[in-house]
């Protein structure tokens, strides 16, 4: 009888432990993946998602200014001339991020359609905001922008 009670207590404690940490992981995933994010200037919204390869990607799903000269805005600054006619809406700008911890996504790249350049990047989740740091070489030499949840 005593062994049965001990076993039940251990199972209950294990269940509570798993539930707590699974809930925290789901909340982080929900924050990153289940929300749209405004870039710092609130000129676009980015959707971040986990792909089948287990890495995270982000694409532009909304633009404040959708047209230029009466036509949909394109990736006109892309160094690859074949891609310059691609629409900005739907453009993949975050590529290949690996989840390092609940608050850090690293080893990815970010593409800046304003200048057509791609940078190494890491994303940290801090107080419901994303600190997106693009850099060349070392993360110490770079720039951080803050993305906020889109309403």
pLDDT tens-place string over residues 21-71: 444 444 445 567 778 999 999 999 999 999 999 999 999 999 999 999 999
User: Are 93 and 82 within 8 A, CB to CB?
Assistant: no
Q: Enter the tokens of residue 47.
A: 């959707």
Q: What is the pLDDT at residue 15?
A: 45
Helices (H), 34-98: none
Tell me the CA distances in angstroms from 6 to 1, 16, 20, 142, one per residue in order: 9, 15, 21, 55
| 6 in the same domain as 72 | no
Instruction: Identify the sign of the CA torsion 27, 28, 29, 32.
Output: positive
Domain of residue 18: give its range. 1-34
User: Are 84 and 70 within 8 A, CB to CB?
Assistant: no
How many domains would you assign to the chain? Answer: 2
Considering the entire predicted model, what is its pTM? 0.79
* Res. 7: pLDDT tops 90: no
CATH value at residue 75? 2.40.128.520
């Amino acid at each position: 009888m005593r062994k049965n009670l001990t076993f039940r207590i251990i199972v209950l404690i294990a269940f509570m432990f798993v539930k707590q940490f699974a809930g925290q992981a789901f909340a982080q995933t929900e924050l990153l993946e289940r929300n749209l994010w405004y870039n710092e200037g609130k000129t676009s919204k980015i959707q971040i998602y986990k792909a089948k390869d287990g890495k995270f990607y982000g694409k532009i799903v909304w633009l404040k200014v959708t047209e230029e000269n009466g036509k949909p805005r394109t990736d006109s600054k892309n160094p690859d001339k074949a891609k310059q006619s691609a629409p900005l809406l739907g453009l993949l700008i975050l590529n290949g991020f690996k989840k390092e911890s609940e608050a850090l996504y690293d080893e990815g790249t970010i593409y800046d359609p304003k200048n057509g350049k791609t940078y190494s990047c890491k994303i940290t989740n801090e107080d419901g905001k994303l600190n997106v740091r693009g850099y060349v070489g070392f993360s110490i030499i770079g720039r951080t922008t803050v993305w906020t949840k889109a309403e």
